[in-house]
Structure 1
Amino acid sequence: MDPRRRIPRTDALLARPRVAAAAEALGAGVVKGLVRAVQDRARSGEIAPEAVEAELLTALDARRPASLTPVINATGVIVHTNLGRASLSEAARAAVAEASGYTDLEFDLATGKRGRRGTGVRAALLEACPEAEDALVVNNGAAALLLAVTALAGRAADTRFSAQTPRATPPYGSPAPRSHGSPSPRSEPSEVLLSRGEFVEIGAGFRLSDLMESAGARLREVGTTNRTHVDDYARALSPATGCVLKVHTSNFRVEGFTAEADLAELSALAHAHGVPLVVDLGSGLLEPEAVLPGEPDAATALAAGADLVIASGDKLLGGPQAGILLGRAEVVAALGRHPLARALRADKLALAALEATVTAGEAPVTRALRADPELLRERTLALARELAAAVPAAPQQSSIVVPHDGRVGGGGGTGVPLPGWALALPEAVAGPLRTGTPAVVGRMHEGRCLIDLRCVPESQDGELLRALIAALDATGSAGGLR
């Protein structure tokens, strides 16, 4: 008898309770594909027909609804772009789960009429940052900058923030009335004034200047790479100016003979000309952070006179991917009215997660940023002791626990070390750790794989230990610990 006749039928396999439950969670098409794949392995002789059902259940257990793989971030980099940036708080995760079904996103339950989108997150942001008169959320930081530049300086920009008729440039500090007339679209793009030292390129070759020019605005460079003064902006201001922009150089630092315009002075200059001042913070702090005294924040920028501040939700704020716009009511309202705002708006899951992040207190990003080095050392030593006890021939834990500076990442806190500790393991374990379950990503440095617990929740220490033991056993590296 042909052994292939013993291969279980597709309908019989699909009728098994665990397989039927998996079809509900993963989708019938996905499960049928896994059934066929296991049957094909049996037809080719790779596995016995009697092993088909067990292999199918193993494949179903390993299959997730999406291809993204959960990772333990043991790199010591808090806002790790390659690993999804911020890890959401429990409150934010619960908010996403609640918002995943039908919600009152744009519906007023009290009146039964259409409601305003994002009212909850707007209220939360304004409470967290009282210096702002209004707030708007779009889908990421680049989208926020694109919307701001398009609305204020694009080809069809609203001109209510600049004079309606040509004017001579008044001297720095002299008052000029702001225009509050009815908006009228420009037929030509206007200029965005930006210091030469703030032309930033971020990951994957993405340049903010290219983004802004795609909005139909003209960039007017002022100052030099290392020194830009308020007078440089004053000389560049003209009737063609749509806005003055300051961009935080979040992913690099210029040191030495440097200067940049004071925000309060720049605000006074811009307002004297009826031009809005836009500040792109990038990193996402709403208020000052003691661990990062040099990192700009929204409250301070608005108090200094910025009309609009742009921040990212998934960086130091510790929330989901989102672009946050905070500032004067009339400026934010103009952005909200622009047709592009519809294309860039955040979805219900991001709005729910962002609101919960802002209201629920300390997020995982903040806890990692403020982690006590001594507590990190104690956790690392405890992990090393357990590892030494579980792995034969491992040396004492003191020889594999080494000082290690963590980093903020995501363009925040550039050059600021975060003192901590790490397990120094053989380089060979890095691959098995990444491909194991759970996947663990450490930092490769000087021929070692460093495991930093700064971004690892304490509740995952046991899971991490099991992954480390498995990786060391798989590579035979127990005797190479150092």
Structure 2
Amino acid sequence: MDDPKRMRQIPKMDQLMAQETGRQLVRAYGYQETLQAARIAADQIRQDPGKDPGDIFKEIRAILKKQKRRHLTHVINGTGVILHTNLGRAPFGEETAEHVARLMTGYTNLELDLETGKRGSRLASFQQDLESLTGAEAVAVVNNNAAAVLLMLTVLAFERQVCVSRGELVEIGGKFRIPEVMEQSGGILVEVGTTNRTYLEDYTGAVTENTAAFLKVHTSNYQITGFTCTPSVKELAEEAHKRQLYLLVDLGSGDLGYIPGTDPKETVRSVLAQGADLVSFSGDKLLGGPQAGILAGKRELIHRIKKHPLMRALRIDKFTAAVLDETVRLYKESEKQKIPVLEMTSRSLEQMEQMADALLKSLEHEVGDHVQLQMIDTLGTTGGGSMPGKDLPGKGLSIRSSRYSVMEIEERLRHSEPPVIGKIEKDQVVLDMRTIFPGEMKELTQIIKKVLDI
């Protein structure tokens, strides 16, 4: 039963909003948002006898902060995972962001040929340069790589068979699987070989009059090692073309050959040179651009794809076109280090050691006995399924506290403004310098001080 005296301690909404704390919250979060949070807080206090009516502003502030965290916000990535899917994969450089912001706040010539005054293609601004970068006769771009694979199979293998190794029947994020994408395209999946060993004759032995293509798929997020066998792209291309079949390659990561430690035989240019008819890859992985699915290969096949009705349903918007145009320009003009993904993958141990040392020095003279900070060796990764099994040695800051558990430190960092996302290893919170922007260091220092009460 409600306590009438307790209920009277809950201020009316107009009184709450008129108080100085209420006005401060309105200035920070907006009137309607604060009023809605106040009503929710009042209801929670009425329903929970354990809540003190005197803490209503504390409850309102907590609700507003939680609501704010539901919106997209800038976060500091201390995980060491460069293409972190949960954090938006490839970040853009400041110059790219500023350039694109100018385009997005006005009109653009997205589909206008300024020479003729007639309608043009939304790919025209970057198409030729992207063809040059990949070595392709032609390219097409849709909204992500899954869409690129779907479109490729729909156009070239509808109601026809496609041979895929059992070791390459991958599942990508969100439980989307190659067999399901194949089914949606209207293609007929033919599994060949085994999980760990697939031979060339497994493909050729499965060919029938209804076979359209061989499909080779990048093994995203995992590796098969040990007793293995898989035919090369060149071998598959030769056998496919002998039988008037296509060789289609879902390369996934989109390596153009500028990332340290990648296999030169698995770049887009190399795969096409080995005989693949079409290659699909992501724009927001090793390319370092926006979310997009890029199809590169034979001009006649790209022409057929561009004419298909699905192309319009899956086409990119002006934002994607603008970012991709600027990203490709940076490659063309040898300004690749302005692409954060390329800068982070090539960041030296010395650079990361300097960053960690600067962070330590900015904190150590204020650290109390309850805090232990230390520079440590780290192992980062490119992430995004792009280079499975390949670690990136780096440097990081280890954080421990006798006042807070590692779980509490991680949570307090995650709930800071802006949120800092780290990782927990060996009973310590670690912030990996590989994925932290130099421009974030000053802000990060203040956040750590606040989180650890130093």
Normalised to the residue count of structure 2, the TM-score between the two structures is: 0.83
Q: Which residue of 2 aligns with 1:265?
A: 235
Q: Which residue of 1 aligns with 2:296?
A: 326
| Amino acid aligned to 2:365 | A
Alignment partner for residue 110 of structure 2, among 102, 105, 109? 105
Q: Which residue of 2 aligns with 1:291?
A: 261
RMSD, aligned α-carbons: 3.2
Does structure 2 conserve the Cα–Cα contact (< 8 Å) formed by 1:291 and 1:370?
no
Residue 47 of structure 1 deviates from its aligned partner by 8.8
Aligned: 1:409 with 2:409: no
Q: Which residue of 2 aligns with 1:115?
A: 120
With over 3 angstroms needed to count, the CA separation of the structure-2 counterparts of 1:430 and 1:39, relative to structure 1, is closer
Matching of residues 246-395 of structure 1 within 5 Å: 246-287=216-257, 289-293=259-263, 296-360=266-330, 361-362=336-337, 363-393=339-369
Alignment deviations for residues 390-438 of structure 1 (CA, whole Å, 9 cap, x no partner): 22236785xx111111111100111111111111113131101000011
Q: Which residue of 2 aligns with 1:465?
A: 445
Aligned: 1:143 with 2:147: yes
Taking the aligned partners of 1:260 and 1:471, their CA distance within structure 2 comes to 51
More displaced stretch, 387-396 vs 416-425: 387-396
Alignment deviations for residues 49-84 of structure 1 (CA, whole Å, 9 cap, x no partner): xx9xxx99x999999798112110000011101111
With over 3 angstroms needed to count, the CA separation of the structure-2 counterparts of 1:118 and 1:281, relative to structure 1, is same
Q: Secondary structure at the match of 2:128?
A: helix
Q: Secondary structure at the match of 1:123?
A: helix
With over 3 angstroms needed to count, the CA separation of the structure-2 counterparts of 1:140 and 1:391, relative to structure 1, is same
Residue 89 of structure 1 deviates from its aligned partner by 1.9
Does structure 2 conserve the Cα–Cα contact (< 8 Å) formed by 1:153 and 1:242?
yes
| Amino acid aligned to 2:178 | L
Unaligned runs of 5+ in 1: 23-29, 155-188
With over 3 angstroms needed to count, the CA separation of the structure-2 counterparts of 1:41 and 1:290, relative to structure 1, is closer
Alignment partner for residue 395 of structure 2, among 412, 417, 421? 421
Aligned: 1:125 with 2:125: no
**Number of corresponding residues:** 417
| Amino acid aligned to 1:34 | E
| Amino acid aligned to 2:120 | G
Q: Which residue of 1 aligns with 2:197?
A: 227
Taking the aligned partners of 1:92 and 1:395, their CA distance within structure 2 comes to 39
With over 3 angstroms needed to count, the CA separation of the structure-2 counterparts of 1:35 and 1:71, relative to structure 1, is closer
Does structure 1 conserve the Cα–Cα contact (< 8 Å) formed by 2:143 and 2:315?
yes
Taking the aligned partners of 2:284 and 2:325, their CA distance within structure 1 comes to 12
Taking the aligned partners of 2:69 and 2:109, their CA distance within structure 1 comes to 26
Q: Secondary structure at the match of 2:378?
A: strand
Aligned: 1:72 with 2:76: yes
Q: Secondary structure at the match of 2:205?
A: helix
Residue 126 of structure 1 deviates from its aligned partner by 1.5
Q: Which residue of 2 aligns with 1:173?
A: none
Alignment partner for residue 92 of structure 1, among 96, 100, 105? 96
| Amino acid aligned to 2:132 | E
Residue 287 of structure 1 deviates from its aligned partner by 2.7
Taking the aligned partners of 2:193 and 2:38, their CA distance within structure 1 comes to 69
More displaced stretch, 447-456 vs 83-92: 83-92
Aligned: 1:218 with 2:188: yes
Q: Which residue of 2 aligns with 1:179?
A: none
| Amino acid aligned to 1:402 | I
Q: Which residue of 1 aligns with 2:428?
A: 448
| Amino acid aligned to 1:329 | R
Superposed structure 1 runs of 4+ greater than 6 Å apart: 2-9, 41-48, 58-66
Does structure 2 conserve the Cα–Cα contact (< 8 Å) formed by 1:91 and 1:357?
no
Q: Which residue of 2 aligns with 1:200?
A: 170
More displaced stretch, 90-99 vs 438-447: 90-99
Q: Which residue of 2 aligns with 1:241?
A: 211
Taking the aligned partners of 1:339 and 1:41, their CA distance within structure 2 comes to 48
Residue 143 of structure 1 deviates from its aligned partner by 0.4
Q: Which residue of 2 aligns with 1:33?
A: 32
With over 3 angstroms needed to count, the CA separation of the structure-2 counterparts of 1:433 and 1:244, relative to structure 1, is same
Taking the aligned partners of 2:120 and 2:304, their CA distance within structure 1 comes to 19
| Amino acid aligned to 1:416 | K
Alignment deviations for residues 218-241 of structure 1 (CA, whole Å, 9 cap, x no partner): 101112211222222111222211
Identical-pair percentage:
39
Does structure 2 conserve the Cα–Cα contact (< 8 Å) formed by 1:105 and 1:348?
yes
With over 3 angstroms needed to count, the CA separation of the structure-2 counterparts of 1:419 and 1:5, relative to structure 1, is closer
Taking the aligned partners of 2:152 and 2:12, their CA distance within structure 1 comes to 68
Taking the aligned partners of 1:64 and 1:111, their CA distance within structure 2 comes to 48
Taking the aligned partners of 2:117 and 2:201, their CA distance within structure 1 comes to 55
Q: Secondary structure at the match of 2:344?
A: helix
More displaced stretch, 301-310 vs 288-297: 288-297
Residue 203 of structure 1 deviates from its aligned partner by 2.4
Taking the aligned partners of 1:436 and 1:304, their CA distance within structure 2 comes to 50
Taking the aligned partners of 1:246 and 1:128, their CA distance within structure 2 comes to 22
Does structure 2 conserve the Cα–Cα contact (< 8 Å) formed by 1:192 and 1:217?
yes
Residue 8 of structure 1 deviates from its aligned partner by 7.2
Residue 336 of structure 1 deviates from its aligned partner by 0.9
Unaligned runs of 5+ in 2: 1-10, 46-52, 331-335, 401-405
Q: Secondary structure at the match of 2:296?
A: strand
Residue 38 of structure 1 deviates from its aligned partner by 7.2
Q: Secondary structure at the match of 1:237?
A: coil
Does structure 2 conserve the Cα–Cα contact (< 8 Å) formed by 1:288 and 1:300?
no
With over 3 angstroms needed to count, the CA separation of the structure-2 counterparts of 1:436 and 1:108, relative to structure 1, is same
Q: Secondary structure at the match of 1:264?
A: helix
